[in-house]
Amino acid sequence: MSSKKFHLGWFTNFTPDEWNEPFSNGGNSWDGKFHIEMAQSLDRAGFDFIMLEDKLAIPEAYGGSFEVYLKHALGMAPKHDPVPLATLLAASTKNLGVVATMSTLGYPPFLLARLCSTIDHLAGGRFGWNIVTSAENAAAQNFGLDRLPPREERYERAHEYMDLVFKLFDSWEDGAIVRDRASGTYADFKKVHKIDFEGKYFKSRGPLNTARSPQGRPTLLQAGGSPTGRDFAAQYADAVIAVGGGVAGMKEYRDDIRARAKKHGRNPDDIKVMFLVTPVLGETEREARDRHERITQAPGFIEQNLALISAITDIDFKKFDLEKPLPERLVTNGEQGSLDMFQQWGTSKTLRQLVVEASGGICASIELVGTPDQVADQMGEANEQVGGDGFLITTPSLCTNRRHIAEVTDGLVPALQRRGLVRDGYTHKTLRENLRAF
């Protein structure tokens, strides 16, 4: 097996834990303590980062109602703002990167750039921004719009948004703060610049009124599924959140991102493609298989996960027959890449089969079921065939519990470390530097 190390992240959100299952925290996680304990466990295990996903609306995509989402607390609502939690997690850890999702729909560019710079200072250079444009009409309606702009216009706006926030991040040069007691000068005004940006969608005088942050710019994450999304990720991201349809799909995706990055003049090695996985662990393979079967056969599993994929794609999957294949290729103004991955168009699988195979609305890249040693071997083999760069661990519903966290940090990670596949200590101070360490 290749000894090439890979990176680890955890994909979660500021919602209740797995509140109605054994080993739960009871669903009362709003003071942040559950997430602090989780982040500290990941810090101890050597994870690169914890990523806090976010949405800006309570969906009603499934059946035209809030009911399923609120009844089951399905990772969509109730949901609190991840940015204050990210600050709390950074203050409670030493090395772990902390990534918050912020939408270009919800934040004016100046506000977002100022917020990122502030948190990166508080986090000592460990803050990351997960870039999203928001893909739900319900979110647009919370910000005074009737509906989302078409996808291509959203990306056009997003490119201009990135151009502006980069100029804002760079409006303070390195070394602008001099703290020269002899001259009584705190900051050198010659190293702080207006940007006078005026584009098609945005306008800003600049500069930021915050000091340049430890990373200069936050570490950037982005999930790109469609060709347009992939190109956006390849142009800007330090790490890409991805779902691959098996090892072959993972390799195709990573190769494509790297080729696109090269066309943008970037070093492909500076971009880490992190594939979503949902490991199910047990002391024996039989125990793990039985747990996986209990998960997928549990009452409400199909409904809950169809509701999740409905929210992600803005398509009501309640109207389709579970025992029949989906109609020939569905199209959405939401997350088309996620829809294509879920639908596996061109196959004859029933909707029920698609849900079970995907292990939920967030599709897993490969099946990982077994003992910690077996799953470690599976991850190592997949990484070797794909070429890198790492895995983003989550659960089918995004909800988790302390047992699941401990199984990964105290079971799976040590098995990976024994194989030399993941770090056993941090070598750098900032999130970007740790991602580029190997």
Annotated binding site for FMN: 54, 101, 155, 226
From CA 192, how far away is CA 166, in angstroms rounded?
A: 14
Phi, psi of 285 (to 5 degrees): -65, -40
Q: In the structure encoding, which two tokens stand for residue 55, read together?
A: 């949405």
- Residues in Cβ contact with 31 at an 8 Å cutoff, skipping those fewer than 6 apart: none
Neighbouring-strand partners of residue 192: 172
Phi, psi angle pair for 330, to nearest 5°:
-80, 150
**Tokens representing residue 71 in the block:** 């009844």
**Closest by CA position to 76, among listed 146, 160, 138:** 138
Residue type, 239: A
Q: Which residue has the tokens 């040693």?
A: 373
Tell me the C-alpha to C-alpha distance, in Å, between residue 249 and each of 331, 335, 382, 385, 386: 21, 18, 11, 11, 9
Contact status, residue 434 vs residue 48, Cβ threshold 8 Å: yes
User: What letter does residue 281 receive in the DSSP assignment?
Assistant: E
Of 336, 227, 225, 228, nearest in space to 276 by CA? 225
Contact 11, 42 (CB under 8 A): no
Backbone torsions φ then ψ of 102, nearest 5 degrees: -135, 130
Detail the residues annotated as belonging to a binding site.
54, 101, 155, 226
Which residues lie across from 239 on neighbouring strands?
Answer: 221, 272
Find out whether 312 and 318 touch, Cβ atoms under 8 Å: no
3-class DSSP state of 98: strand
The single-letter DSSP state of residue 264 is T
Residue appearing with tokens 């078409």 = 150
